[in-house]
Amino acid sequence: MSMSFSQQTLILTGASTGIGRSLAIALAQKGARLVLAARNQPALAETAAACMEQGGEAIAVPTDVTRSEDCQQLVAAAIDRFGCLDALINNAGTSMLARFDTVTDLSIFEQIMRVNYLGAVYCTHYALPYLKTSQGLLVAISSLCGKTAVPTRSGYVASKHALQGFFDTLRIELQESGVDVLVVSPGFVATDIRQRALGADGHSLGQSPRDESKNTMSVELCVAQIMRAMERRQREQVMTLKGKLIPWVKLVAPGLVDRWSLRAAQTKSPSIQGAAAADEMTSK
């Protein structure tokens, strides 16, 4: 069964910037009815305005996905405005760039897990009854970090592994419901997630530790792949050749994958700069 976006009601978290903002606008161009969520209210309102300029319907619902009550209110706002729900796109996310043995603020691990994993759990919990009614689509924007280990990204990798496991399990549980589950695993995408990543002290880095002009997928190409996977109601979309190869290589030579990742991280200093090389292998 394929999915059309015209007159379909979709909730999209993390819609104020990066992949989320571009995906919202692209969906609006297809005639979607969008319920947009993020913490940054002014930026979220700008995204909603851009969507309406493209012919879609959009409402902005300021939401902190780490708060279950916010997620409940988000779903309620969608039903109140449009009366139904056809898809939930869990896109909100944050990252870190630091070796574990340099971390001085352990709270970053809880923060990352609450945004990247529990936020998706909360939204999915409240959205699922309506998605069962519409036989809709659950989408998780994960990362290749959800499939393999990456030095300097321990908290981020853990959250994405949790996300992958949660939605893989839901897919099995929902087989008889008509709800499909799609996990998207981008590679290295040209967003500001590395600038906003948390360092060892728990503060945002403020700048990316790598050259963002090289070996980077455009946001537009990433969004096009997400939309195509949603239209086809795929179970998974892995966006790079290396990402598709890694699981197979891990089966026969797991140590080789570890050495690839470690060697990449050691090409520069063992702190946050090491993450720049590691990102060549993985990560949105």
**Interacting residues of 245 by C-beta distance below 8 A, sequence separation 6+:** none
Which regions of 164-204 does DSSP assign to beta strands (E)?
Answer: 180-185
Mean pLDDT of 100-113: 96
Q: Residue 204 pairs with which residues in a beta bridge?
A: 198
The pLDDT score that the predictor gives to residue 52 is: 96
Closest by CA to 143, choosing from 221, 237, 225, is 237
The pLDDT score that the predictor gives to residue 199 is: 85
Q: Which of the pair, 217 or 19, is modelled with greater confidence?
A: 19
The pLDDT score that the predictor gives to residue 42 is: 97
The pLDDT score that the predictor gives to residue 246 is: 79
**126 carries an active-site annotation:** no
pTM: 0.89
Say which CATH architecture domain 9-278 belongs to: 3-Layer(aba) Sandwich (3.40)
Strand 137-141 to 180-185 pairing: parallel
**Interacting residues of 128 by C-beta distance below 8 A, sequence separation 6+:** 138, 179
Give the integer Cα–Cα distance in Å for 179 and 158. 26
Which residue of the set 117, 126, 130, 156 is catalytic? 156
Classified as helix, coil or strand, 277 is: helix
Give the integer Cα–Cα distance in Å for 8 and 82. 9
pLDDT surpasses 50 at 276: no
pLDDT digits (tens, 9 = 90+) for 41-65: 999 999 999 999 999 999 999 999 9
Give the integer Cα–Cα distance in Å for 91 and 267. 31
Handedness of CA 88, 97, 203, 219 (dihedral sign): negative
pLDDT surpasses 60 at 77: yes
Q: What is the mean pLDDT of the chain?
A: 87
